[in-house]
Amino acid sequence: MQEKNNNAPRGQKPMRIKFNISWIYFILLIAIGWMFFNQGGANPQKEEWADVQKQWLAGDIKEVVFIRNEYEGRVTMRPERIENYADKFGGKVPEKSPHFVFLVSGSFNAEEMFGELNSKLPEDRQVKVVIENQENWWGMLEWLIFPLLLIFMWVFMFRGMNRNMGGGGSGGPGGIFNVGKSTGKLAEKGENQVTFKDVAGLYGAKEEVMEIVDFLKNPAKYTALGGKIPKGALLVGPPGTGKTLLAKAVAGEANVPFFSISGSDFVEMFVGVGASRVRDLFRQAKEKAPCIVFIDEIDAVGRARSKNGGYSSNDERENTLNQLLTEMDGFGTNSGVIILAATNRADILDKALMRAGRFDRQIHVDLPELKERKEILEVHLRKLKLSTDFDVDYIAKHTPGFSGADLANICNEAALTAARRNKSEIDKQDFLDAIDRVVGGLERKATMMTEEEKRTTAYHEAGHAVVSWLLPNANPVFKVTIVPRGQSLGATWYLPDERYVTTKEQMIDEMCATIGGRVADEIHTGQPCTGALSDLEKLTKLAYAMVTYYGMSENVGNISFYDSTGSRAYDMTKPYSEKTAELIDKEVKDLVDMIHERTRKILTENFEGFSQLAELLLEKEVIFAEDLERIFGPRAGAPRKVEVKEETAETEETESNE
């Protein structure tokens, strides 16, 4: 037998026309258009009975069909006379009859009226009259077909939308007809290649989740002794610390399916959708067991329920939360499904969600320390072309307080900076500039400052630096600059010691350094200026925290009004009386005044060195700790350095002259 399409190149499949759902929409539109807009020019024109009488007596009418039950007459004109009425049809003479229609009342006597008109005409001009009753089935069918076509079109349109949105059928996720289906993404067994080798640092967190991995790999090891596999673990930590990456690593290490979904995906505008999606997610998880379900940003749906049912409540969110609680309780002991969730707001989660038997353990994913930052940097530096003398340790020491995401961003910015400078390698300076850009913002080279504004900024930043250098418990100064970045005209950078416990004396020293710029402005210009807005905001918050949270006021006493649960967020009353409120305000003001006077005394007593530093800053625009040491000598106080804290120093930008 001869094969078809012999002319097609060998190995190439013959072209086939694929069916597209859009064809149906096109055909339906054509059908509707034909029904209502394409009647072949045969649409009869309406006219009055008086006009019909004139046409009748003029001998222009050939036939009249009168529908008795509809009180409607249909007029067909003589072919040779129809041209006289072309203007009534828009200049186009209709090809089909009837040409005109007229309506009459129920008292109309057709036989009598038509007979009387015909009697006035000669026999060759008399009109043929047909009087009948008629059932208009076609008209009724037209009105029936139209809504049916619309419904048909609507169904096909939304089925197509459903496929395009990921429905793919009645059981698939997403789609307009599958709003109740889970939108979670599934990584099948073997698809997830992320393991603990890809997670740098996070020693404590990895140690905790290793037990979960062992549960999934060897469940019988624990159940044989009567132990229960934990149902869930909550990853708690600041944004960008690697919570999601750690959850993926757990699934990859255990080599089990991995469901991932965001907490906000459960909440929709439709009532009951959130609860339905929770049920569907857990149904799918049970089918894939053993597996891991990861809910990112669970605080979007797991926020504590309001005690006041009528105020600040969200029934849909609470229903979703209730369903989540029910599903977590519904798992059997050996179901093999473990729930991992991540949040940076563990304090606002509902207590029912946090109890044992649901999220059995909390795993804290903290900001990386020096060793961890070095490992994270080494991961991101693998793909970068670095200079031969590049020192990873130096960058790690100058990036404390940075999350894993921040470190990745710095590496990328350093590469972009080197590329803009047409370098073939990335060096240390590129990284330092990248840190400045990420933290402080883009350098504003086009900012036009007057000489007086530049001098005021220099004295402002010098005030911060001098006070910090001379107070033993203040954060050590790393760098001072008056180069405008972001919204600030200058900044003082610190390398603070990481403290797990801060004393009252330490807080006061740091507050003095915070207001050092404001006091420097008053000494230099004789009056305050607006550049210390952020300093005053920080100072005020710290002062109120000392009095109302930490119990560091003798007159207020050892009382704390701090709300760790967040339940007072919608409470319109304060947890203390008006008399206590007045006392708190007085204590805060007295504390701020004391700090202000102490800072002024420090700058006044060291005015010569303070002025020298400001002038040096005007000259060089950027100065370092070495310049401060050359003017004031070694920094005050014993450096907490060596013991433990040199490797966990933290860089932070605290002041800005806005």
Catalytic residues: 461
- Note if the bond before 290 is cis, omega within 30 degrees: yes
Q: Is 525 helix (H, G, I), strand (E, B) or coil?
A: helix
Phi/psi at 132 (5° precision): -155, 165
Q: Give the integer Cα–Cα distance in Å for 407 and 438.
A: 10
Instruction: Go through 625-652 and write b for each residue having 16 or more CB atoms within 10 A of its CB, e for each that does not.
Output: bebbeebbeebeeeeeeeeebebbbbbe
Nearest to 28 by CA among 137, 140, 161, 148: 148
Q: Give the integer Cα–Cα distance in Å for 370 and 241.
A: 14
E strand intervals along 244-354? 258-262, 291-296, 337-343
**Dmax of the chain from CA atoms?**
133
Q: DSSP string of 135-158? A: --HHHHHHHHHHHHHHHHHHHHHH
CA dihedral 594, 598, 599, 600 (to 10 degrees): 100
Q: Are 384 and 411 in contact (CB under 8 A)?
A: yes
| Residue 121 DSSP symbol | S
Q: Give the integer Cα–Cα distance in Å for 582 and 439.
A: 38
Contacts for 310 with CB less than 8 Å, ≥ 6 apart: none
Q: Are 322 and 272 in contact (CB under 8 A)?
A: no
Q: Give the integer Cα–Cα distance in Å for 414 and 422.
A: 12
Q: Give the integer Cα–Cα distance in Å for 196 and 375.
A: 13
Q: How far is CA 627 from the centre of its chain?
A: 45
Q: Give the integer Cα–Cα distance in Å for 615 and 604.
A: 16
Measured CA distances, 248 to 95, 123, 144, 558, 599 (Å): 74, 98, 56, 45, 51
Strands 45-46 and 100-103: parallel
Nearest to 356 by CA among 231, 227, 226, 208: 231
Strand partners of residue 480:
492, 623
Residue 232: enclosing H or E segment and its boundaries? Answer: strand 232-236
Q: Give the integer Cα–Cα distance in Å for 27 and 639.
A: 83
Q: Is 396 helix (H, G, I), strand (E, B) or coil?
A: helix
For residue 47, give both structure tokens. 């006219």
Measured CA distances, 458 to 193, 300, 487, 514, 657 (Å): 53, 45, 16, 15, 9
Q: Are 190 and 255 in contact (CB under 8 A)?
A: yes
Q: Give the integer Cα–Cα distance in Å for 466 and 220.
A: 64
Residue 627: enclosing H or E segment and its boundaries? Answer: helix 625-632
Question: What is the number of helices (H) and of strands (E) in the chain?
Answer: 21, 15
